[in-house]
Amino acid sequence: MKEQDNIKLVRQGYDAFLKGDLNGLLSMFSSDIDWEIPEVEAMPFSGKRHGIDAVAGFFRDMLAAQDVREMVPDEFIGQGDTVVVLGHFAFTVKSTGREYSDDFCHVFRIANGQISGFKEYADTHKAAMAYEPQMAGTSADMGQAGGRSIH
């Protein structure tokens, strides 16, 4: 039955996030939570964070950097103090206007009825490409030199 309680807690967390209830979401986390998103250059909220204030900063930074187009947790698997969630997300990066989407695996650790750890597994290349600033010499600029075609 413990696994079902843990799954219920994690489901409530996704529901709070999707409703924009960040205070409700943060109330589900332990004060010393560990949070890890794969490190992606140019993605300001990626990497490891520790503690409730740092995780609150993660959500603030993430929502400032990108719009959530889709967040669909499809499958919840619980065993002991771990809940694994398989799903799909899609975002639009505000600074570049580019979109990216991917399947994800989220792993939650539960302790004393609160979420005490989170780790995300996803394709970091898709995110990196969406966050990469447009640079001279990219495919969009190929074939142009000084504003003239070089065919």
- Domain enclosing residue 18, as ranges: 2-132
Q: How many domains does the chain have?
A: 1
The Cβ of residue 139 has, within 10 Å, a number of other Cβ atoms equal to 6
Considering the domain boundaries, does residue 150 fall inside one?
no
- Token pair in block for residue 126: 């898709």
CATH of the domain at 49: 3.10.450.50
**Tokens 């698997």 sit on residue:** 77
- Is 106 part of any domain? yes
User: pLDDT tens string for the chain (151 positions)?
Assistant: 699 999 999 999 999 999 999 999 999 999 999 999 999 988 999 999 999 999 999 999 999 999 999 999 999 999 999 999 999 999 999 999 999 999 999 999 999 999 999 999 999 999 999 999 875 444 443 343 444 334 3
DSSP string, 68-90: EEEEEEEEEEEETTEEEEEEEEE
